[in-house]
Amino acid sequence: MTGLQLAMLSGAALTAGLVLLVAGLVPAPTHLKDAIGRLQPSPLTDQTTTVTQSDTESRVGRWAERVLPPVVWGTPPDKDLALLGRTRAGFYGSKIISATLGLLLVPVIGTATMLIGLPIPVAIPVIGSVGLAVVLWFLPNNELKDQARKAREDFSYALGAFVEMVALERLAGATVPQALVRAADTGDSWVFQRLAAVLRRTQYTGQNPWDALAQMGHELELPDLVDLADIMRLGGTDGTRVYDSLRARAAAMRNATLNAQISRANAASERIAVPVAGLVLILALTLVTPAILRMIA
């Protein structure tokens, strides 16, 4: 393939990518499902746990969700998205934009190398662009899992303090609903804000607060919150004193958090041992090699 043909192929790929991006920016008609979803109370999160998603990602995601078949997306990570306060459209848009950038990057580099007089076979840009697009397509999935894992760890850590506050409120004579609401109002982190939002909503809907917490725990994959809801259900329905159970649960959560941190520290120490050993070996070879060369000479 000549250089002119390679340039035409790269230009066609770049033009196709630009057309896709412009099509995604065109305002789409509002769907009834999206309009109703905006009326629902949005989860309260802070900037440390929520990944900012632009309007461009949401528009591209809504367009791609309508055009592409569902088999392309696979199983949507709805629980992770709900935990981080993101929408499915924004997540799909990030995948489309990442894959498009990967598809266009290699042809642009190939064209630049051709212009400076270093022609390369056409198979290399084609295979490279497709491979990079596939890698960047799955990159948002890995980022989402990592952010959701960190958010769940933060939630469990803050929930331990919340359980302690609930136990103190119960010891002071507050009822189960009062203890939960007052404990949630004592903190200003994103965990306490989400708990307070769920508990305040029960005051208007008539739902039992422990049922709302259990539902939240199942929806966001938070087993510690489900266990707390079970403990509070016993105190709210049977009148059982739950102070000792709450303190024991808080102690167990602290121990689990401490063990997880120790495991991560040990894993980090093991990972750093390999490069340190390599540096020591290189230093030893640097010191010993001149003496060995003099002995041989």
pLDDT one-digit tens code per residue, 188-241:
889 999 999 999 999 888 889 999 999 999 999 999 999 989 888 887 655 556
- Token pair in block for residue 292: 């060995």
CA 186 from chain centre, in angstroms, equals: 27
Distance of alpha carbon 178 from alpha carbon 159, whole angstroms? 17
Asked if residue 264 has pLDDT above 70, the reply is yes
What's the mean per-residue pLDDT of the chain? 79
- Token pair in block for residue 50: 């929520």
- % of the chain beyond a pLDDT of 90: 21
Q: Where are the alpha helices (DSSP H) in the chain?
A: 3-25, 32-39, 55-67, 78-84, 88-115, 123-171, 176-185, 190-205, 209-220, 223-237, 243-296
Q: What average pLDDT does range 8-14 have in this prediction?
A: 60
Q: Which are the contacts of 49, defined by CB distance < 8 A and separation ≥ 6?
A: 83, 84, 85, 147, 150, 151, 154, 190
Model confidence band, residue 24 (pLDDT cutoffs 50, 70, 90): low
Residues in the chain, how many?
297
> In this predicted model, what pLDDT tens digit does every residue of 47-75 receive, in sequence order?
444 444 567 888 888 888 888 888 888 88
Are the C-beta atoms of residues 193 and 41 closer than 8 Å to each other?
no
- Residue 50 φ/ψ region, left for φ over 0, alpha for ψ in the -120 to 50 degree band, beta for the rest: beta
Q: Is this model's pTM higher than 0.85 or not?
A: no
Of 207 and 126, the structure prediction assigns the larger pLDDT to 207
> In this predicted model, what pLDDT tens digit does every residue of 266-294 receive, in sequence order?
887 777 877 888 888 888 888 888 878 78
